[in-house]
Amino acid sequence: MQIKKILVFLFSFLNFFTSENFPCYGQRCSVNSINQSTHTNTPASIYLQTRNTYSFRLIFHILYLNPEEKISSAQVNSQIEILNEFFSSSTTNEDLNIPKTFRSLKSNPGFQFCLADIDPNGNPTTGIHWFPINNLSVACQMQFGKRSIMHKTLGGVDIWDPKRYINIYIVNRDQCNALGEAIFPWDATTEEDGIILDYRTIGTIGTASNNQPFHQGKTLVHEMGHYFGLLHLSGDRSNCNGEDSVADTPSQSLEYFGCPEYPQWSCNSESMFMNFMSLVDDPCMQFFTKLQVTRMRTIIARDRSDLLNHSCSIKPVIPLDKIRVTELDGFWQLINLEHNSWSAHFELYDISGKLIWLDSEENIISKTIPGINMLLNPGIYFLNIYNKTSKNCFKLLKN
Ligand code: ARG
Ligand code: ZN
Ligand code: CA
């Protein structure tokens, strides 16, 4: 379930500054310069939204006829990096390429992906399995109304429990009519679910490197959008009659391909052809919108909520050196300049070294130190934050 906490902070009277580098009991202490807040004069309510990061375990079934189609685990890992870049960091390589008109609509879904490390029977796995096949027709053939590739009895490989894993099939799709195919949440069954991709679209190395313009791992980003319930912007209908059911993506009378010159117009609005759910070339796909993210999260909660009980066991531990303290109407708030989620323990000490507050959080976007404005006397405080890989320390002044 998506947990949304709306925290309402009322006006308060406090203010604080941080000052120069300070030893902080022997730990590295960051210089955290913050201008004196201007909103202490604004008696307004501030709404802060925090959001859970979702993580998903992937199983790659790689079916190969020729040795070239037996892509390497390094290539699969390069794909996981791309997924994590576009689904879980809010600053990406594409940010500067997004046209200004659309920049503020861009959103970070907050989804992390990892390879499965435990198989359905509880045994260790690398999350990548290779299977020799003797005929490419299994790639897109239907037999008895079923996708052959997802059934062992039809020459394919059975899916792993789709309530616990996202199944990704990799195969040579020369005989199919698209590079990729995803099963929509509302079409999924216990026997058929997941995503099928051509072996040349995976990640950024190996067979992908000479597969321009589909060489940046974005086919799976697009297909993952479908897997979580997103549609093409045109709604796959012509004459502006289609609907992707996302209010902040403009209507389109058609799909864009290649790499169109900006701007393009359709249905009386500027077209967002550079969206991930467009059909343009990899270098020209750049972002998901806020309401596409809302739609994915809503649909996951409705149709794919079981996956949320089986998150990645090994989560990347985010270093804390990009955490900064800001002041919001007298509350101290910790934010990550990288905008991805992070986990940490928190300890607040007063100048005498007395511990006055302690907390731990996992996968948060921001952290507000509760009630500081009510509780603390004016003076200097030290905030230590640490996790498995790093620590950071802030000297805070409350006046
Ligand atoms: N044709 C595929 C689909 O509609 C995906 C196309 C992905 N495009 C890309 N530039 N990688 O699902
Ligand atoms: Zn598509
Ligand atoms: Ca729309």
Average pLDDT over residues 67-96: 94
Identify which of 47-61, 127-141, 318-332, 341-355 has the greatest average pLDDT: 127-141
Please give the Cα distance from 28 to 26 (Å, whole number): 7
Q: Which residues pair with 169 in a beta bridge?
A: 61, 196
- Enumerate residues 6+ apart whose C-beta is below 8 A from 100: none
301 CA to centre of ligand 3 in angstroms: 21
How confident is the model at residue 26, as a pLDDT?
Answer: 38
Q: How far apart are CA 109 and CA 85, in angstroms?
A: 10
Q: Residue 50's pLDDT is what?
A: 56
The amino acid occupying position 154 is: L
Distance (Å) from CA 51 to ligand 2 centroid: 27
Phi, psi of 306 (to 5 degrees): -60, -35
Instruction: Identify which of 176, 221, 222, 275 to mutate to test ligand 1's pocket (most ligand atoms within 8 A of the CB).
Output: 222
Q: How far is the CA of 255 from the centre of ligand 3 (A)?
A: 13
- Residue 374: phi, psi to the nearest 5? -80, -35
Question: What separation in Å is there between the alpha carbon of 231 and the centre of ligand 3?
Answer: 9
pTM of the model as a whole: 0.74
pLDDT the model gives residue 318: 77
Of 69, 181, 223, 327, catalytic: 223
Those residues whose beta carbon sits under 5 angstroms from the ion ligand 3 are 244, 246, 249
152, pLDDT greater than 50: yes
Q: Which position has the token pair 């596409």?
A: 292
Provide, rounded to the nearest whole percent, the portion of the chain with pLDDT above 70.
Answer: 85
pLDDT in tens, 263-275: 999 999 999 999 9
pLDDT at 140 over 90: yes
Ligand nearest to the CA of 231: 2
pLDDT score, position 6: 33
Residue 318 near residue 343 (C-beta atoms within 8 A): yes
Q: Is 85 a catalytic residue?
A: no
Q: Residue 244: CB within 6 Å of ligand 1?
A: no
Cα dihedral 272, 274, 278, 280 in deg (nearest 10): 140
- Which residues are CB-contacts of 124 (< 8 A; sequence separation ≥ 6)? 117, 118
Strand partners, 180: 197
The response to whether residue 275 sits with its C-beta less than 6 Å from ligand 1 reads: no
User: What's the average model confidence in pLDDT over 13-35?
Assistant: 36
Long-range contacts of 298-305 (CB under 8 A, 24+ apart): 298/2, 299/185, 299/228, 299/229, 300/2, 300/54, 300/185, 300/228, 300/229, 301/1, 301/2, 302/185, 303/185, 303/186, 303/188, 303/229, 304/185, 304/188, 304/228, 305/1
Tell me which of 140, 169, 179, 223 to substitute to probe ligand 1's pocket, judged by most ligand atoms within 8 Å of the beta carbon: 179
Least confident range from 22-36, 199-213, 223-237, 321-335: namely: 22-36
Q: What is the pLDDT of residue 5?
A: 36
198 lines ligand 1 (CB under 6 A): no
How far, in Å, CA of 348 to CA of 343, rounded?
16
The reported pLDDT for the residue numbered 315 is 64
DSSP 255-290: ---S-PPSP-EETTEE--TTBTTS-S-GGG--BEEH
Helix (H) or strand (E) holding 219: helix 218-227
Residue 372: predicted pLDDT: 65
Taking the CA of 177 as reference, the closest ligand is 1
At residue 100, the pLDDT reads 96
Query: 234: CA distance to ligand 2 center in Å?
Result: 11
Find the 277 Cα to ligand 1 centroid distance in Å. Answer: 8
Calpha distance 70→200 (Å, rounded)? 11
Say how far apart CA 301 and CA 138 lie, in whole Å.
33
| pLDDT number for residue 374 | 66
Query: Is 193 close to ligand 1, i.e. is its CB under 6 Å away?
Result: no
The closest residue, in CA terms, to atom 2 on ligand 1 is 180
- Mean per-residue pLDDT, 332-338: 87
184 versus 313: the higher-pLDDT residue is 184
- Cβ atoms of 333 and 325 within 8 Å: the answer is yes
First CA to last CA distance, the chain? 40
Q: What's the average model confidence in pLDDT over 69-78?
A: 97
Best of 219, 220, 273, 280 for a ligand 1 pocket test (most atoms within 8 Å of beta carbon): 219
Q: What is the pLDDT of residue 371?
A: 62
Residue 322 burial (CB count, 10 A) = 15
Encode pLDDT of 187-229 as tens digits.
Answer: 999 999 999 999 999 999 999 999 999 999 999 999 999 999 9
The chain-wide mean pLDDT, for the chain, equals 86
Which atom of ligand 1 sits closest to the CA of residue 222? Answer: 7
Mean per-residue pLDDT, 348-375: 83
